[in-house]
């Protein structure tokens, strides 16, 4: 049984945790406010879930999901993540995160920024392009005609393969979007961000297959 650690358990992190538990994975949840504040979520998720600190989640997870405001990236504990696959759901929103010159200037992507912080980990960009309500509602088993796909980007092929297997287990196909330097193609404001899965005003969303996601990624421009 795979253990999924969560550094950040908000809308996206909490939704991935719920899908993970439904797939039979154990989850270790954390947030910036302490384990006690996650008691209701843990109770709702059931016996496969427990709460801890960010360090606990990082140490326990076979795969660790980082889902925090990007401005807090320096708070992610690098040591216990060494050698692990880390799924980066973070997006850069200057109005929330403050301006980061290397991102504003296009010198690096937000995932490259986090990878530099977590030098010993293998980072894969995932889950950042979909509305959390759509993420929760569009999961489908492998082979379903209306299965949705999510783009993933990373520098380590083995880590991307592991990420794809995890996505498959929770109800999603994966489209390889390239290296972390290519992950701008799935960042806010690009064709693959949000739109393929329907309007944010539609809480159920619309399935988006592999071809739709590949076309959206190829349409991205800087």
How far, in Å, CA of 193 to CA of 216, rounded?
Answer: 9
Residue-level pLDDT, tens digit, the chain, 222 residues: 799 999 999 999 999 999 999 999 999 999 999 999 999 999 999 999 999 999 999 999 999 999 999 999 999 999 999 999 999 999 999 999 999 999 999 999 999 999 999 999 999 999 999 999 999 999 999 999 999 999 999 999 999 999 999 999 999 999 999 999 999 999 999 999 999 999 999 999 999 999 999 999 999 998
How far, in Å, CA of 221 to CA of 124, rounded?
Answer: 21
Q: How many domains does the chain divide into? A: 1
**Domain of residue 136, CATH code:** 3.40.50.720
Residue 191: give the domain boundaries.
3-218
- Determine phi and psi for 162, rounding to 5 degrees: -65, -40
pTM of this prediction?
A: 0.97
Asked whether the beta carbons of 177 and 111 are under 8 A apart, the reply is no
How far, in Å, CA of 57 to CA of 140, rounded?
Answer: 27
């Amino acid at each position: 049984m795979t253990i999924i650690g969560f550094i950040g358990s908000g809308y996206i992190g909490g939704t991935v945790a719920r899908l993970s538990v439904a797939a039979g994975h154990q989850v270790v949840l954390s947030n910036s406010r302490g384990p006690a504040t996650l008691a209701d979520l843990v109770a709702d998720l059931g016996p496969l879930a427990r709460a801890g600190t960010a360090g606990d989640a990082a140490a326990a997870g076979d795969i660790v999901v980082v889902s925090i405001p990007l401005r807090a990236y320096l708070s992610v504990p690098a040591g216990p993540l060494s050698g692990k696959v880390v799924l980066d759901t973070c997006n850069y929103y200057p109005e929330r995160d403050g301006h980061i010159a290397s991102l504003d200037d296009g010198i690096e992507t937000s995932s490259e920024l986090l990878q530099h912080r977590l030098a010993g980990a293998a980072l894969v960009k995932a889950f950042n392009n979909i509305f959390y309500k759509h993420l929760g509602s569009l999961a489908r088993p492998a082979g379903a005609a209306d299965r949705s796909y999510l783009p993933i980007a990373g520098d380590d092929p083995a880590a991307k393969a592991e990420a794809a297997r995890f996505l498959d287990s929770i109800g999603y196909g994966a489209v390889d979007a390239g290296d972390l330097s290519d992950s701008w193609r799935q960042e806010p404001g690009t064709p693959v961000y949000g739109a393929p899965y329907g309007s944010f005003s539609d809480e159920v969303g619309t399935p988006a297959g592999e071809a739709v996601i590949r076309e959206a990624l190829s349409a991205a421009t800087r």
